[in-house]
Amino acid sequence: MNQTTTDYDHRISGRPDFSFLTVALKAGQTIKVEAAGMATMDTNLGMKTMMRGGLSRLLTGESIFVNEFTAQAGPGEIGIAPGAPGDLDHVYLENNTIYLQNSAYVASSPDVTLETKWQGFTKGFFSGENLFLVRCTGRGDLWFNTYGGMIAVDVDGDYIVDTGHIVAFTEGLNYQVGRIGGYKSLFFSGEGLVCRFNGRGRLWIQTRKLGAFASWVRPFRPHKG
């Protein structure tokens, strides 16, 4: 896995709060983009919608489609805006694997295979997050985003992360979902469940999580009556 190798000329603007990805496509070159991710594009780009993840994605209520954009009759440029405000990162897969939280995928090369991986009922239910991870394998570029800033951590041994702060991790890391302390701590400490990672690999975390932000905003919402 490499963060400097790339098959595309690209740039990331607006970091770290409102990252925006611009990719230059050569004539005939194709890129896969998460549904609704395209913000701008040249007029010679053609689009084709493809299903990703099958029934498993449908059951989660998440988007199950990616759009493929191809530069036709000459080069073209596409601008991609992730849904969440935050940072964006790029890695180049070299026949290895990275797992993304369900909403982190932004775009990739056509040769990067995207599959959903069942976490298991216990992991998915107690994490309070998504029931599926996106398994990205193959060779090519991969872009993913966060809610908030992004921090990469090289893990060698054991490491604990709140489930809501996980963005991505490499295949060399195993994980188990659990709690810190007893059940009283789980419900009254303000801390949720955590992932206990073990092994060697890279882990990407986000500096904010949507659930905590929603709780912070709730007292300020207007109430009828």
Report the relative pairing of strands 65-71 and 30-34 from DSSP bridges. antiparallel
**Tens of pLDDT, residue by residue, the chain (225 residues):** 777 789 999 999 999 999 999 999 999 999 999 988 999 999 999 999 876 654 344 444 444 578 999 999 999 999 999 988 999 999 999 999 999 988 899 999 999 998 877 555 444 444 444 446 889 999 999 999 999 999 999 999 999 998 889 999 999 999 888 766 544 444 444 456 788 999 999 999 999 876 655 554 566 677 676
What is residue 186's predicted lDDT score, i.e. its pLDDT?
A: 45
Torsion angle, CA of 140/141/145/151, rounded to 10 degrees? 90
What is residue 5's predicted lDDT score, i.e. its pLDDT?
A: 87
| Extents of the domains making up the chain | 9-220
The CA distance from 166 to 159, in Å, is 12
Enter the DSSP assignment of 195.
E
* pTM to 2 decimal places: 0.82
Question: In CATH, what class is 9-220?
Answer: alpha beta
- Do 7 and 51 meet the contact criterion of CB atoms below 8 Å apart? no
Q: How many residues does the chain have?
A: 225
What is residue 127's predicted lDDT score, i.e. its pLDDT?
A: 45
Token pair of 57 as six digits: 């994605």
Spacing of C-alpha 104 from chain mean position: 2
Token pair of 150 as six digits: 């992004």
Token pair of 63 as six digits: 């988007």
Coil/strand/helix, residue 105: strand
- Do 114 and 108 meet the contact criterion of CB atoms below 8 Å apart? yes
